[in-house]
Structure 1
Amino acid sequence: MNTLDQATAQRIVDRAMPVIGHSVNVMTPDGIIIASGDSQRVGAIHQAARKVAETCAPVVITEQEACRYTGTRAGVNLPVEVGGKIVAVVGISGTPDKVLPFADLVRITAELILEQASLIEVGRQRRHQIENTILTLLNGEPVAEYWLTHLSIDLRKPRIAVVLEASEPHQPWLTDITSLARDLERIEPETLVIQTADQKIVFFFSEKPAQDALIAALARLPDNISASVSAATGAVFSNNLKACYESAAATLQAAKQRSPAPVRACYEDLPLATLWRSLQPKWQQEQLNQALRPLLNHPRSDQYLKTLRVFIAAEGDIQRCAQQLHLHRNSVRYRLKGIEALTGCSPFRIEDLMFLYLALESN
């Protein structure tokens, strides 16, 4: 830790003072007081702290000697080292004989707090590096193998992505992605987690079945959030995080097309719909929409669309479709004939039914 921030310095003061019962100051090696039990001293120059940093030795100041150092009072001042470097100076105000017994206690407390802050900062920087690296891979850009090794990211292992999306467009996530990632790293070191620019949370699990991955991802969120979140898994890939993510994102969109959020979906349940969406069709989609337009504009469009969706879900079985719609099979057949008349595509022909299926997915 090369620099000491004011918040960490104040933590040292707040932890030490209730224990020792004396005012504590924390100074930079340049002698600037950045935290103190006496708030009026913050920002002042402490000349004795400079001497401590220069000599790497404690400086004890009596009442008589205090006038020799600018901005100082009677007490004890000690160097605080982290990683073999002096990063701060702590001072305890009071008669030296009374405060000396607390000197090492305060110094050790300061060093422990600073070491902890240093470890947190290192972890934060590593997490930032991992996130940037994964986002680079998702953009289809190459990343050097040595850098992946440095970050302990093994792309050779089969991975499955889980995409989590808030149900409301601008609903903020009430979770700390850094803490979430840190907790996961302790439990499942191979798991990667990031937050995308459009506020989706993406997990990349190693060698985990789709349903298990879905459950594991949602379990990382607080109950009040997970219940309102849409989630989907993609296909399994090795050496291709981009495909993992895109297949999961496409699965999520395909599932949302079928039912209102929040949804739960796996790629293997919607492979064709997911593949079609991942192709990002342009003129092809217009052709499909054109065929479906007369149906959409019909007064009974909701009735026709529901029948068509249930017929597809029933794998073209009229009897099953009729049972699910609570209709007579002849009523289902009549509606399907009506769809054929409007679209020119017969639901009874495999190729036409596939065309209608893709049209529904594109709508």
Structure 2
Amino acid sequence: MMTTLDQATAQRIVDRAMPVIGHSVNVMTPDGVIIASGDSQRVGAIHQAARQVAETSAPVVITEQEACRYTGTRAGVNLPVELGGKTVAVVGISGTPDKVLPFADLVRVTAELILEQASLIEVSRQRRHQIENTLLALLNGDPVSEHWLKQLSIDLSKPRIAAVLEASEPHQPWLTDITPLARDLERIEPEALVIQIPDQKIVFFFVEKSPQDALSAALARLPDNLNASVSAATGAAFSNNLKACYESATATLEAAKQRSQGPVSAHYEHFPLATLWRSLKPTWQQDQLNQALRPLLSHARSDQYLKTLRTFISCDGDIQRCAQLLHLHRNSVRYRLKGIEALTGCSPFRQEDLVFLYLALESNEQSVRSYKFIEQK
């Protein structure tokens, strides 16, 4: 809970009370320093009577004749402002005591309510900061104690699914502060978690939701002006492993972006193999795949071959359906696939070789650029 009073909150008390009571209001620290006042020239001065109020936790009423006995004090009434059973400030109303006394409790209660609100906001902010740091640690694979997770009411034993959102274009408007979003989410779904990671992605973790429901719930939290230009994806569901939830969703998003120029919306189930391959972060394996694909990419008809191969894969190896999508005779499709085999040494008609070619396409940046170019034509 807040135990000190900042100047901005003190000024809020003054600004709220003065229009109602029609008298100048001062807010002092327990040490007697005026930190907000209806008379700006008094800010920073010492108010001796406020020290007495803080020490005794009792009001001090000062008449015109008594004001000279207290340094920096004018006639009026000064009351303790308490929070959590402790005097955290003193509020004073300047004026003839019999005129300002009727407003004393009103001003004191107003001050305490404003302080309680500020305290709750501060507690919420601190808890949000703790949750963010904890989620970052979990996403980095760092150990977090069960006791601490319990303190934050984070139960990782339930199956969770991650939804990752990012701006579809690098320079488009994006959320810079997700605090209001997080508060809104906690109010509606107390078990859901959300964090904005350093690369500006927003990641939601939902408990026991279907991929479509998770994606819809995440997008519903965004302002309407951002919703249409967001790329989003969900990963696989895991218990006790937020890192896997996040990595599978991010890999799904990258796999989906490879297949589209604009905003994408995808789920892990759409292309699990491509997602798993990205999650493995291959090194020498990727070089081997690229080596097999180079003759195809350097061929004069590489665009034609790539489009045929990708369509054939998307049709689950069904030549007739592939031919229909490409508006070709099935023999023409077969001829092209034979050409791919001659160039790469991998037969699209053998399941193992087709998987190899699929991973090669997923891994090769030149293939990705060619695929996007083909899709646009």
Give the structure-1-normalised TM-score.
Answer: 0.95
Residue of structure 2 equivalent to 1:359: 360
2:240 match: 239
Contact 2:173 2:226 in 1 (8 A): no
The answer (yes or no) to whether the contact 2:48–2:70 under 8 Å persists in 1 is yes
Instruction: State how 1:1-363 maps to structure 2 within 5 Å.
Output: 1-169=2-170, 171=172, 173-174=174-175, 176-363=177-364
**1:315 Cα deviation (Å)?**
0.8
Give the C-alpha shift of residue 263 in structure 1.
0.8
* Superimposed CA distance per residue, residues 194-232 of structure 1 (whole angstroms, 9 cap, x where no aligned partner): 111211111111111111111111111112112111111
Deviation at 1:171, TM superposition (A): 4.6
Per the TM alignment, residue 172 of structure 1 is displaced from its structure 2 partner at its CA by 5.3
1:158-194 per-residue CA deviation (whole Å, 9 max, x = no partner) reads 1111111122335553364222222222211111111
| Change over 3 Å in CA distance of 1:72–1:299 after alignment to 2 | farther
Deviates more, 1:111-120 or 1:292-301: 292-301
Aligned partners of 2:38, 2:337: CA distance in 1, in Å? 81
Equivalent pair of 1:163/1:248 in contact (CA under 8 Å):
yes
Secondary structure of 1:86's match? Answer: strand
The runs of 5 or more residues in structure 2 that have no matched partner are 365-377
**Deviation string, structure 1 residues 123-160 (Cα, Å, up to 9, x no partner):** 11112111211211111122111111111111111111
| CA distance 1:87–1:172, change in 2 (3 Å) | farther
Q: Distance in 2 between matches of 1:170 and 1:84?
A: 50
Structure 1 position 90, deviation (Å): 0.9
In percent, how many aligned pairs have the same letter?
87
> C-alpha displacement at 1:326, in angstroms?
2.5
Deviates more, 1:73-82 or 1:41-50: 41-50
Gapped regions of structure 1 (runs ≥ 5): none
Distance 1:46 1:225 in 2: 51
Cα distance between partner residues in 1 of 2:220 and 2:361: 33
Given the superposition, is the C-alpha separation of residues 301 and 21 from structure 1 closer, same or farther in structure 2, using an over 3 Å criterion? farther
For 1:294 and 1:330, the matched residues in 2 are separated by: 23
Separation of aligned partners in 2, 1:297 and 1:75: 90
Q: Are the counterparts in 2 of residues 175 and 221 from structure 1 also a CA contact under 8 Å? A: no
2:205 aligns to what SS in structure 1? strand
TM-score, normalising length: structure 2: 0.92
Alpha carbon RMSD of aligned pairs, Å? 1.6
Compared with structure 1, are the counterparts of its residues 328 and 113 closer, same or farther at alpha carbon in structure 2 (3 Å cutoff)? same
